[in-house]
Structure 1
Amino acid sequence: MSESTKVLLLGACDRGGELALAFRRLGATVVAVETCADAAELGRLLDEHSPQYVVATTPDVSVEVLIAAAERDGVEVFPTPRGARLSHDREGLRTLAADELGLPTVPFWFAGSAAELVAVAGHAGFPLAVTPVAGSGAEGRSVLLRSDDIEAAWQVAARSTSSGAPHRVLAESVIEVDDEVTLLTVRTIGQAGPAVHFCEPIGHRELPDGQFEAWQPHAMPLEALDAARSIAARIVNSLGGRGVFAVELLLREAEVYFATVRALPTGSGLVTLRSQRLSQFELHARAILGLPLDTIMISPAAVEISEAGGSVPVAVLAEALATQETDLRLVDGTAVSLATAPDVVRARDRAHRVAAALAGAAS
C-alpha cells in the first residue's frame, strides 16, 4: 500500500477505531472525524486532507455528506450514497428487495397515516410489527396486538421520525421464525469484475435482560444456506460498492426471508474479532482498498454485548476473564464479552460467564 494512500473516516466511534486500526495495518494514513455536519464542513476536510477514500463508520453520517464527497474527483465513497440512502429508507429497500429483485420477505404494507394503518390492520390481521420507514435501528418500533394499539403505535413512530422525513410506516406480519441470522457479505471488484465472499452465518438474539448475544457459525441446513447466500448476493450487488454488508435474514425451517441490510460492519459482526482470521473491520478495509481477502474461520466463537457504564475495575476484569479463551472490549459505551471454544455451545457459555461477572460486579 502506497504511503500516500489516505482514508477519511466519518463518524469515528469505537467501532471506527477498529476500522482505523485495520486501515493503518495496511499502510494507509487515516484521518478520523467524529462528526461532519454538512457538505460545507466536508469540503473543508477534503481540501485539508485530500483523501482518496471517504468511509462512513456509522449510519449517522448523512447521505447528503456522502453525495458531496462522491462529487469530488479522485475520491471514492463507502458506502455508496445509494447504499447509504436505502439503508435508511425501509420503503425503498423493501421495494427494491421484494418488487425489483424478487427476494422472499414476510408480508408487508406501507401506511402514511393512522387511518391507513387501520385499513392495513383490517386486511392483514394481528399481530403486526410497525416501524418508521426512515431510519435503520429499532427506534419507533411497535407490535400491534389489537385495534386499540394502532393510534399509540402511529404516534410512537411519528415521534421517532427525523425532522423533514415523511411520516410513513412499514407494517409487517409477525411470523414465527426459528432463528435470526446475519450473513456478512463482502463485495469486491477485481480484474474479473465484481465478486462476493460470504462469512459463516452469525446467529443472534436479544436476551431477557436486554443484552445481545451472537455466535458464529450458526448451523443451517445446506438448502437454507444456499438460499441465504443467493439472497445476500443479489441485494449486495444491487447496492454496489465495495466492503462489508451485514445482510439480516429470518429463518423458518428451510425457508429464508430477507429482513434488511446495512452497508457497513455491525454489532453482531463483533464476534469475528475472535472467530475469523480477518475480522469484519479488516475485511471492510481490504475490500475498500482493493486488496485480497479471505473469510476463513479459525474458531467457533460467541459474543455478548451489555451496558458497561464506564471503565471496568481491574479486580472485576480479573474475575470476568478467569474463564479460558475469553476477552473483553469496551465499544461504543458497551461491554463486549468475547469467547472461543471447540464448539458454539461452549463458546456461548464462556461469553455469558464473562458478561455475568460484569453484571454481578455492577449490581
Structure 2
Amino acid sequence: MEIGTPLFEGSKKILLLGSGELGKEMAIEAQRMGLEVITVDRYDLAPAMHVAHRKYVIDMMNPNAVKAVVKRENPDAIIAEIEAINTDALVDLESNGFRVIPNANAVKACMNRIELRRFATEKLALPTTKYAFAENEEEAKHACKDIGFPCLIKPEMSSSGHGHVLVNKIDDVEEAYRESVSHARGKGRRVIVEEFVKIDTELTVLTYRYYSNSGSIITKTIEPIEHKRPSYYYVESWHPSTVSREVKETARGIAQKVVEELGGLGIYGVEIIVSGNRILFSEVAPRPHDTGLVTLASSDINEFQIHVRSAIGLPIPEVKLVSPAASHVILAQTENVWGPKFINVEKAMEIPGVQVRLFGKPVTYEKRRMGIVLATGNSVEEAIEKVRKASSIILVK
C-alpha cells in the first residue's frame, strides 16, 4: 500500500459523516497515519472539525447533500459516525463504487432499532428481551399489554438513550409513546416496546474486521468492556470487565455472530445485557462505541485506530490490554451556554493516572457529554474510584 502526503496528489482520504467526540478521535488517529481528513456535520465547530483538513456543514438527512459532498471529495473511505444520516444515500454511493465503513447495509440495519431486532431474532436466533412494534398510541397499548408492565418504549431510530421511556401502567402509554416519538431521528412514528429487565451489568464487545496479508477478512473481538447506566445514556465504563469467563465467552460469541453476518470492515460495538442467568443481545453500533473511549487508556491499539486502519485496508495485530482502566463522562448541567468553560481541571489531573479529554463542543444542553476523564490503576476498582473522583471535581461553567 502507498500512502501519499495529505493535501497532495495521491493522498488517502477519509470522510467522516458526523463530527462528534468519536469522530474527533478517529480524525486524530487518521492524522497520525498521514491521512487526509474531511469532516461533515449538521452544525459548525463540531469537535472533529477542529482537527480536520476540511469541513462541511450540511443537512445529512438530505441524500443529495450527502452525495454531493462525497462526490466532490472522492474519499477512500466514508465513515458513518452518527445515526442521523440518510442511509439510502450511503447505499447508492456504495453501489457506485465508494467504500462505506463498515458497509452501507450494515449502517442502515444498525441505525434502525426495529430492523436490527428482527435481524437478531429472526435471522440469527439470538437471545433478546421480549419485544413488539407499534406505529400509533393504540398499537403501543396493545404491545405494552402483550409484553407486560413495566416495559420500555423506544423510537425506531435514536441514540444515547434519547426517547427511551419506562412505562409502568396502561394509563401512561399514550404520553410515553408521544414522548418517545418526539426524540426519534427523522420523522418516523414506529417504536419498539421491550420487556423491562433488571440489568445486573452491561457489556460492550468491540468486534472488528480487517484484511489480512492474504487478502481475506478476519473477524476478532477485544476483551469485553463493562458499563452501567444510571439512566439510558453512557456515564462510565471500565476495562477489562469483571464478569465470569463463561459470560465473557458467551458475549463474545454473540458479538462475533452478529458482526460476521453484518460484514464489511471496521469496528462494531456490540451491546450485551446481563440479567441474572440471561445473556441478551441488545444493540450494535457500526462504528467505535462511546463506552469504548476507555480503550484510549486500556489498550495498546484503541478502538478509533482500529476503525481507521481497517477502513483503509491496514492490518491490526492482536489488541492487548496494557492496564486496567476506566472512563467517566463530564456532563453539562445547563442549557444553551455558548463557549463553555471548564474549571478545576488541574485539580482532577493531580490524581495519579488521570487524563482529561475535553471535546470542544461549542454549546451545552442539559446532560450533554462535554468531555471524559480516563484513569489507569492496579485494578479496575482503583481506576473507577479515580475517574469518579476526578469527574466530580470538574465543572462546566
Q: Which residue of 2 aligns with 1:132?
A: 155
1: CA distance, partners of 2:156 / 2:64: 28
Residue type of the partner of 1:296? K
1:85-96 matches, within 5 Å, as 85-96=108-119
Q: Which residue of 2 aligns with 1:338?
A: 374
Given the superposition, is the C-alpha separation of residues 290 and 89 from structure 1 closer, same or farther in structure 2, using an over 3 Å criterion? same
- Using the size of structure 2 for normalisation, the TM-score is 0.84
Q: Which residue of 2 aligns with 1:322?
A: 350
Q: Which residue of 2 aligns with 1:50?
A: 74
1:227-273 per-residue CA deviation (whole Å, 9 max, x = no partner) reads: 11111011111211111101000013453100000001121111111
2: CA distance, partners of 1:147 / 1:48: 52
2: CA distance, partners of 1:148 / 1:227: 39
Q: Which residue of 1 aligns with 2:191?
A: 169
2: CA distance, partners of 1:89 / 1:104: 18
Q: Which residue of 1 aligns with 2:207?
A: 185
**1:182 match: secondary structure:** strand
Q: Which residue of 1 aligns with 2:86?
A: 62
Q: Is the 8 A contact 1:54 1:69 kept in 2?
A: no
Quote the offset at 1:45 in angstroms. Answer: 3.0
2: CA distance, partners of 1:218 / 1:184: 12
Q: Is the 8 A contact 1:182 1:268 kept in 2?
A: yes
Quote the offset at 1:194 in angstroms. Answer: 2.8
Of 300, 314, 328, which residue of structure 1 is paired with 2:324? Answer: 300
Runs (4 or more) in structure 1 with deviation over 4 Å come to none
Q: Which residue of 1 aligns with 2:251?
A: 228
Residue type of the partner of 1:275? S
1: CA distance, partners of 2:58 / 2:91: 13
2: CA distance, partners of 1:358 / 1:41: 39
**2:342 match: secondary structure:** coil
**Greater CA deviation, 184-193 or 101-110?**
184-193
Q: Which residue of 1 aligns with 2:179?
A: 156
Q: What is the Cα-based RMSD across aligned positions, in Å?
A: 2.2
Residue type of the partner of 1:328? V
1: CA distance, partners of 2:168 / 2:392: 34
**1:220 match: secondary structure:** coil
1:259-293 per-residue CA deviation (whole Å, 9 max, x = no partner) reads: 00000112111111111011110011111122121
Q: Is the 8 A contact 1:36 1:61 kept in 2?
A: no
**Greater CA deviation, 285-294 or 31-40?**
31-40
1:99-138 matches, within 5 Å, as 99-138=122-161
Given the superposition, is the C-alpha separation of residues 44 and 157 from structure 1 closer, same or farther in structure 2, using an over 3 Å criterion? closer
Unaligned runs of 5+ in 1: none
1: CA distance, partners of 2:64 / 2:202: 40
Quote the offset at 1:189 in angstroms. Answer: 3.4
2: CA distance, partners of 1:253 / 1:148: 30
1:214-236 per-residue CA deviation (whole Å, 9 max, x = no partner) reads: 11111222221121111101111
Given the superposition, is the C-alpha separation of residues 237 and 41 from structure 1 closer, same or farther in structure 2, using an over 3 Å criterion? same
Residue type of the partner of 2:26? L
Given the superposition, is the C-alpha separation of residues 163 and 265 from structure 1 closer, same or farther in structure 2, using an over 3 Å criterion? closer
Given the superposition, is the C-alpha separation of residues 116 and 9 from structure 1 closer, same or farther in structure 2, using an over 3 Å criterion? closer
2: CA distance, partners of 1:31 / 1:120: 44
Of 368, 375, 383, which residue of structure 2 is paired with 1:347? Answer: 383
Unaligned runs of 5+ in 2: 5-9, 42-56, 362-369
2: CA distance, partners of 1:78 / 1:236: 13
1:68-92 per-residue CA deviation (whole Å, 9 max, x = no partner) reads: 431333x211132211111221111
**Greater CA deviation, 63-72 or 121-130?**
63-72
